[in-house]
A and B are shown apart, each in its own frame.
Chain A
Amino acid sequence: MVKRRLHAAGYVNTGSSMLGSPSAPALHARLAPADVLVDERRALYRLAVDLFAPGAEMSDNLLDHPIVRYEIGRALAGHGGVDPEALREVAATGVRDAGIAVASDPAAAKQLEAPLRIIAPPGQAPRPLTEADGERFETAIRIVAEGVDLFRRLAPAMAGDLLAHVSMLVVLKAETSGGVVSASSRYVPGIVLIDEPACPMEVAEALVHEGAHEKFFDFAITQKFLDAHAEEAEYFETSWSRARWPLEQTFAAWHAYTCLSQFSQLSESEQLGPHSLLPKARERAAEIGDWLMAHEHDLLSDARWLLHALAGQVADAVEGVPTADASVLAAGVREDGSFRVLPDVVYRLAKSGRAVVGRVQELPEIFWLDPDASWVLKECHRAPAPFRLLLGNAAEKWRTDLPETRRRLAAALGSLRVFSIVEASE
């Protein structure tokens, strides 16, 4: 059994930038509770289907399927379109319920070709364990179920928070895994691949590790985390392997190690697998976190906030995010004008009240709107809306005085105009 250092209950002490870290699930929820985040993700994928196949309605289950999301992601990246019927076919993967859905279909190797190829180490061809493997598969399913139960028992809040973002687990045949302990890919979000497990703790740790990545993937497409500038940012070099990571990978790794460090505190009596990262998680989270703190200007506001909050450095939460300069945004918003949504704009509303907007073109553009801008979009979508009508309705909706309503309305309209989502109409 691997011995681990004891920590004060309820806190993570992970180095100079990680003093007294509050729990990751609680801080994640300050940005967006898991159910809200998943609903916003679905709204985005539903919008993408609207852009490529107008009129096609997709169920939540279908939109959660990793291969469906992979296909939609490819289309959004400019590689092919979306065929709703084909999506329904690729989503027909047989799964077994082990607390989470585990790929069990004898045809899984074909159905899950993309993630198996993407995560394969050079020269390797991982294959999934399926019902066709008989008792060996049944044994793996039992260990996975015990691992999920163990995760939920040791860290119920974290399990609920992270497993909400794991749609499918794939167990790789040990003789084909090529050294893979666990893996995930943002190309195929929602799927976690693990080596054939020997004990439940291996499964639990893999679900923390990869579940943290899956959570990050969903944050990154719905909140303010990274923009195109991330590609040009400096690389982080690990002290332990001299690997060089781009910013996106660095943030994902920091997030996973931070979750693993917190999980480590909650599982101190458990025997670890031979390749466990838990004994190293605290130190590595601190190293990566310190680097990210020094490069936080390359992160967007929600990512910066999470970085500081998990380090215990932010007393107040999302409210601390700077607000837009209303005078800049309001430039050109005339109070005697009317505003309408441009004809090439489509949108979907999430239950949170946020709208995700797409512009129909060869390579679609996607935007998330805050609740104010989302409300304005809805008001202008029906017909051109005069500013004064919007002002009166907004005061009623937002229950604010006139100056504050005017400021918020002008800021929302200004933002929508900047991105050519609404325009002034005659």
Chain B
Amino acid sequence: MTTSNRVVRQQQFPPAPEARLPRSSPGVDIPEGRSVVPIEWFRRMPNGGTVHLRPSR
């Protein structure tokens, strides 16, 4: 038996107070498959890591 990958629920960084989504022009909907894609990955870092642990005895 092994455990599944376990998320370490420690917060590495507190959320940046000024964090917000990339801006777009007011009133303009962003269609699917657009030519420009904001990368928001670095703005949300919810978990520390993925760790495969041995089962505890």
Contact = CB atoms under 8 A, between A and B. Distances in A.
Nearest to A213: B50
B24 to A, nearest CB: 5
Interface in A217-252: 220-222, 224, 226-228, 230-231, 238, 240-241, 243, 245-246, 248-249, 252
Contacts of B24: 418-420
A276 B40 CA distance: 34
Given A78-B18, A321-B33, A243 B6 contact: yes
Indicate the size class of the contact surface on chain B. 35 or more
Could you say which of B8, B18, B34, B56 has the most chain A C-beta atoms within 10 Å of its C-beta? B34
A187 B34 CA distance: 28
Indicate the size class of the contact surface on chain A. 35 or more
Interface in A100-148: 115, 118-121
A295 B5 CA distance: 21
B18 A362 contact: yes
Given A185-B48, A249-B7, A329 B18 contact: no
Contact of A231 (B2, B18, B46, B52): B46
Given A222-B39, A329-B31, 13 more contacts: A77-B13, A77-B16, A77-B43, A121-B53, A180-B51, A181-B52, A184-B49, A186-B49, A329-B35, A367-B22, A373-B36, A418-B25, A419-B22
Nearest to A78: B16
Contact of B42 (A73, A356, A412): A73
Contact of B48 (A119, A301, A323, A369): A119
A243 B55 CA distance: 14
A284 interface: yes
Given A118-B12, A275-B54, A367-B22, A183 B43 contact: no
A370 interface: yes
Interface string A309-349: 00000000000011111001101000000000000000000
A300 B38 CA distance: 12
Nearest to A77: B42
A362 B19 CA distance: 10
Contact of A418 (B30, B45, B49): B30
A183 B49 contact: yes
A90 B51 CA distance: 24
A76 B8 CA distance: 22
Nearest to A182: B52
Contacts of A421: 36
25 contacts: A78-B18, A118-B8, A119-B48, A179-B54, A180-B51, A182-B52, A183-B50, A183-B52, A184-B50, A186-B41, A243-B6, A253-B50, A275-B54, A277-B2, A280-B2, A321-B33, A329-B31, A363-B18, A363-B20, A367-B39, A368-B37, A373-B35, A415-B34, A418-B24, A418-B25
Given A76-B42, A249-B7, A370 B35 contact: yes
A195 to B, nearest CB: 8
A388 interface: no
A411 interface: yes
Interface in A237-274: 238, 240-241, 243, 245-246, 248-249, 252-253, 256
Given A248-B46, A253-B50, A419 B31 contact: no
Contacts of A420: 23-25
A209 interface: yes
